[in-house]
Amino acid sequence: FFGVLCPVLQVFFPLMSTTDVWKTKPLGTQLRTIVGHEGYILGAAWAPDGRTIATASADHTVGLWRTVTGTRVFTYKGHDGSVYTVDFSPDGGSIVSGSWDATLIIWSTSTGARLHTLNGHAGTVGCVAWSPDGRTIVSGSVDRTLKLWNAHDGTCRGTLCGHTDTVEAVAFSPDGHTFASGSRDMTITLWKTATGYSQRTLRGHMHTVCAVAFSPDGLSLASGSWDKTVAIWRRADGVRTHVLLGHTGTVYSVDYSPGGQTIVSGAWDHTVAIWNPANGMLLMRLEGHDSYVHAVAYSPDGYMILSASGDRKVCVWSCGGTDADAAPKPVLQEVADNEPDLNDPGVAAIDAMQAILAALPPNGLPVSLWDLGTLLGVGCWEKYRRTLGNLRDFIALNQELTAISFDPDNAQWNISRGPRAHEGPAVQVYFPEDPDPNPNPNALINMPGKGKGKGK
């Protein structure tokens, strides 16, 4: 009786007990091997709820698999060549895939049906990413372009040019306002999602950039390259803060853990590596594949890592629970923990917006703006001291500003994705360094000096 009942329960409650056991396993324990493809597995992604995994294969198909049992849910057929990349919609209801046949296809995860075929690239589509708000898909191709697509109807919003060789990797920032692309031209470019304008180009790799991933707080970026390294970049100014050495072959894939405490990478040397991004140290190497590892990713809850390989296997590994409970705190809350000293003579009230308090540090550090009702940090002025009059004008022009600050300890801009101090439109700030050819004429155009970037 129980031999019949248990498989039935496993189908209807696939995460009920097995994953509880998995969470207790030591870091690096191989939990599950998923097999079934007839060709190399070139891409893989977790569903938002972690219950299923999607795979892209050289056998021209996309697979959907149950995480715990490893059983196949759907085999999606429709591409006319190798499928290189796959990603889930944020609600988990759809999958997008990119192929050698120069198309993207959007599939249903509930019915297995093809929903849309996206045509427009002139060559292999090697990378795709779905925006956090579910509205946009970005794709990169051997035709050296990126395309932005309307995820609801499959129409192309625009084509972005700037790379001089194949676009190998794309990734959205956690807030979705920015995305990054890595290319065979050895560069990484940051782009504005809303306009398609390029914001910054990161240079430092000595060969093709194969992978890009944003940190959970959006302040850093990791990349993998044919030069056998993983690099960590500071998003605010494009500075490369760490180079991670340890792989002996091309690094094809990178991902941050949900708490941001570790990075995972997969490489041509058949291994998966786990790193500490704070100091660049290699924490552990996972060995279990018989061919190159083309895709790695943390599960949404942070308890597992998947790796997909040319050996036609997906391996699911334990993270040991070391990072699962370390979900990133909203920057807004982190700023709020550092309440201003109201007795400081450098603190001055702003008549134009009495709910805001400006702290003007004498040493030239940034100005922090505070909501007097809640003492939540709600914004920041420029890195260099400005007059009170200019600050008053800044606030008057940016009354929607609710969650931007500068962290003097880490010398970086913080843009909150967490709760706001009050309800209102999305944050929109313009700094002169941004190469937006159509800036808002009312947004800080008279401000001298160097800005650090744009938040929206």
- In this predicted structure, the answer to whether residue 426 has a pLDDT above a threshold of 60 is no
- What share of the chain has pLDDT > 90, as a percent? 63
Residue 134: C-alpha distances to residues 88, 175, 212, 401 (Å): 9, 12, 20, 24
Q: Provide the strand spans (E) within 360-411.
A: 368-371, 376-380, 404-407
pLDDT given at position 130: 98
Whether 292 contacts 249, CB under 8 Å: yes
The mean-pLDDT minimum among 16-20, 36-40, 136-140, 254-258 falls in 16-20
Q: How far apart are CA 88 and CA 141, in angstroms?
A: 19
Q: How far apart are CA 263 and CA 265, in angstroms?
A: 7
Higher pLDDT, 397 or 254: 254
Confidence of residue 25 (pLDDT cuts 50, 70, 90): confident
Confidence of residue 24 (pLDDT cuts 50, 70, 90): confident
pLDDT given at position 299: 96
The secondary structure of 127-148 as a DSSP string is EEEE-TTSSEEEEEETTS-EEE
Half-sphere exposure of 127 (CA within 13 A, CB side): 30
Overall average pLDDT of the 80-99 stretch: 97
Instruction: Pull the structure tokens for residue 363.
Output: 């040493």
Whether 195 contacts 227, CB under 8 Å: no
In 3D space, the residue among 173, 222, 174 whose CA is nearest the CA of residue 199 turns out to be 173
Burial class (CB in 10 A: 0-12, 13-18, 19+), 155: exposed
Higher pLDDT, 21 or 4: 21
- What share of the chain has pLDDT > 70, as a percent? 66
pLDDT given at position 180: 98
Instruction: Pull the structure tokens for residue 352.
Output: 């134009």
Residue 125: C-alpha distances to residues 14, 252, 265, 295, 386 (Å): 33, 16, 22, 16, 48
In 3D space, the residue among 351, 440, 449 whose CA is nearest the CA of residue 392 turns out to be 351
pLDDT given at position 453: 30
- pLDDT tens digits, one per residue of 180-205: 999 999 999 999 999 899 999 999 99
- In this predicted structure, the answer to whether residue 370 has a pLDDT above a threshold of 70 is no
Domains in the chain: ranges and CATH? 37-318 (2.130.10.10)
Overall average pLDDT of the 286-312 stretch: 96
Supply φ then ψ for residue 56, to 5 degrees.
-115, 135
Q: What is the three-class DSSP state of 392? A: helix
Overall average pLDDT of the 31-46 stretch: 97
Confidence of residue 358 (pLDDT cuts 50, 70, 90): very low
Higher pLDDT, 344 or 314: 314
- In this predicted structure, the answer to whether residue 44 has a pLDDT above a threshold of 60 is yes
Q: What is the three-class DSSP state of 5? A: helix
Whether 142 contacts 166, CB under 8 Å: yes
pLDDT given at position 119: 97
pLDDT given at position 321: 60
pLDDT given at position 20: 67
pLDDT given at position 443: 28
| The amino acid at 96 | V
The mean-pLDDT minimum among 304-313, 352-361, 367-376 falls in 352-361
Its pTM stands at 0.69
Q: What is the three-class DSSP state of 287? A: strand
Overall average pLDDT of the 150-158 stretch: 95
Overall average pLDDT of the 230-238 stretch: 94
- In this predicted structure, the answer to whether residue 441 has a pLDDT above a threshold of 80 is no
Average pLDDT across the chain, whole number? 75
The most confident of 283-292, 335-344, 389-398, by mean pLDDT: 283-292
- In this predicted structure, the answer to whether residue 123 has a pLDDT above a threshold of 80 is yes
Instruction: Pull the structure tokens for residue 421.
Output: 């101090």
Whether 251 contacts 292, CB under 8 Å: no
Q: How far apart are CA 156 and CA 116, in angstroms?
A: 12
| The amino acid at 451 | G
- In this predicted structure, the answer to whether residue 332 has a pLDDT above a threshold of 80 is no
Q: What totals of helices (H) and strands (E) does the chain contain, helices first? A: 4, 34
- In this predicted structure, the answer to whether residue 15 has a pLDDT above a threshold of 80 is no
- In this predicted structure, the answer to whether residue 271 has a pLDDT above a threshold of 80 is yes
Overall average pLDDT of the 31-60 stretch: 97
pLDDT given at position 184: 97
Cα 249 from chain centre: 24
The four Cα atoms 172, 178, 182, 187 give a dihedral, to 10 degrees, of: -160
The number of residues making up the chain comes to 456
Residue 255: C-alpha distances to residues 54, 224, 229 (Å): 16, 10, 14
Overall average pLDDT of the 149-177 stretch: 96
The secondary structure of 333-354 as a DSSP string is HHHHTS---TT-TTEEE-GGGT
- In this predicted structure, the answer to whether residue 269 has a pLDDT above a threshold of 50 is yes
Instruction: Pull the structure tokens for residue 289.
Output: 């594949």
Overall average pLDDT of the 126-144 stretch: 97
pLDDT given at position 65: 98
Whether 71 contacts 32, CB under 8 Å: no
- In this predicted structure, the answer to whether residue 72 has a pLDDT above a threshold of 80 is yes
| The amino acid at 316 | V
pLDDT given at position 437: 35
Instruction: Pull the structure tokens for residue 287.
Output: 């060995």
